[in-house]
Amino acid sequence: MTIEQTVTIPADHRLHLDFDIPPQIPTGRARASLTLILEEKQTQPVAGNWENPLLGLAKAKGSKLTLERFLEMQQEEAERENENDRRLWANT
């Protein structure tokens, strides 16, 4: 069973849910999960002084690392891992 309700997240970020459960659902213990799906794009940052933590990588004194280079390094590492996996699975 899926129950959906559109809600507005208040400033204090506390959400209180109240659902009418259909009578054919038996009483007793049940597991419920909550999935939040944002319906509209946020137009302002969540926190006024938020800064991308990746930008701090290049702030170290004398560092030549840029965000672009960091992303390239991540891609290179993923490619190496994929190649290692291909070799491993080719031998099985």
Per-residue tokens: 51: 């800064």
Q: What is the mean pLDDT of each run of 10 residues along the chain (92 residues)?
A: 78 85 85 76 61 64 75 89 84 64
Residues spanned by the domain of 78: 66-92
Do 17 and 5 form a contact (C-beta atoms < 8 A)? yes
Do 17 and 31 form a contact (C-beta atoms < 8 A)? no
pLDDT attached to residue 47: 59
Is residue 74 a part of any domain in this protein? Answer: yes
Residue type, 59: K
pLDDT attached to residue 76: 92
Is residue 92 a part of any domain in this protein? Answer: yes
Phi-psi category of 77—alpha, beta or left, where left has phi over 0 and alpha has psi -120 to 50?
alpha
Is residue 12 a part of any domain in this protein? Answer: no
Q: How many domains does the chain have?
A: 1
pTM over 0.85: no
Is residue 26 a part of any domain in this protein? Answer: no
How far lies 10's CA from each of 7, 16, 37, 39, 62, in Å?
A: 9, 10, 15, 15, 44
